[in-house]
């Protein structure tokens, strides 16, 4: 395939993802149909299917983009300092406006009744697990975290902790306390020394 054609196809895919993100943010997942995305772009629905075979594929592409952005930021933050603090910082920034936790929760709510959303989440989970395990192995190789007896299980535990952050920890009123708890939990999961603090008697 000629380079120009490949670049055009890549740009077209990115424009479709941009439109899908705009539609989902404005109208919610229910409104994020292929028809709505096509209308947002000003093209026919048939044109979308040249690049994405289904709504599942579009949702998966949105989550892939978000994951790539998160990993880039995470790598940058971790290079500068403490691993647990860097992960917490990256999550805080990601959910501070550019990606709404409401959309995230809506995805899981819709997965119960929408097989396309459920399949997109399954695909996303597999990719998240692979990327997190690779990331933790790199940190282990660099001596940034202790030896991992089970890297796959550790990656899953970190992902479960991060997924639960906006359910359990979001119920706490104090953002500073919420963040402290997340960092401490990450340290426990990663086998890092936990900084203790005195408890009131």
Residue-level pLDDT at 166? 63
Residue-level pLDDT at 121? 83
Distance CA 117, CA 40 (A): 20
176: which residues sit within 8 A by CB, 6+ positions away? Answer: none
Q: Please answer whether residues 187 and 87 qualify as being in contact, where contact means their C-beta atoms are separated by less than 8 angstroms.
A: no
Confidence (pTM)? 0.74
Domains and CATH numbers, the chain: 1-52 (1.10.10.60), 55-190 (1.10.357.10)
By the 10 Å C-beta count (0-12 exposed, 13-18 middle, 19+ buried), 141 is classed as: exposed
- Per-residue pLDDT of 139-180, as tens digits, reads 999 999 999 999 999 999 998 888 777 666 556 667 788 788
Model confidence at 199, pLDDT cuts 50, 70, 90, reads very low
Residue-level pLDDT at 200? 42
**Mean pLDDT for the stretch of residues 96-124:** 73
Count other Cβ atoms within 10 Å, centred on residue 127. 14
**Mean pLDDT for the stretch of residues 75-100:** 78
């Amino acid at each position: 395939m000629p380079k120009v054609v490949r670049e055009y196809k890549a740009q077209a895919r990115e424009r479709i993802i941009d439109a899908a993100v705009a539609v989902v943010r404005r109208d919610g997942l229910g409104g994020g149909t292929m028809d709505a995305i096509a209308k947002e772009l000003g093209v026919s629905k048939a044109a979308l299917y040249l690049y994405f075979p289904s709504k599942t594929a579009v949702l998966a592409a949105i989550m892939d983009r978000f994951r790539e952005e998160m990993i880039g930021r995470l790598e940058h933050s971790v290079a500068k300092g403490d691993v647990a603090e860097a992960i917490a910082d990256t999550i805080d920034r990601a959910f501070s406006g550019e990606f709404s936790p409401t959309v995230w929760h809506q995805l899981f709510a819709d997965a119960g009744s929408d097989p396309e959303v459920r399949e997109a989440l399954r695909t996303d989970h597999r990719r998240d697990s692979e990327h997190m395990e690779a990331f933790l192995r790199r940190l282990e190789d660099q001596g940034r975290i202790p030896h991992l007896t089970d890297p796959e299980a550790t990656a899953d535990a970190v992902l479960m902790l991060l997924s639960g952050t906006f359910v359990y920890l979001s119920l706490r009123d104090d953002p500073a306390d919420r963040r402290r708890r997340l960092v401490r939990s990450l340290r426990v999961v990663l086998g890092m020394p936990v900084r203790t603090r005195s408890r009131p008697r």
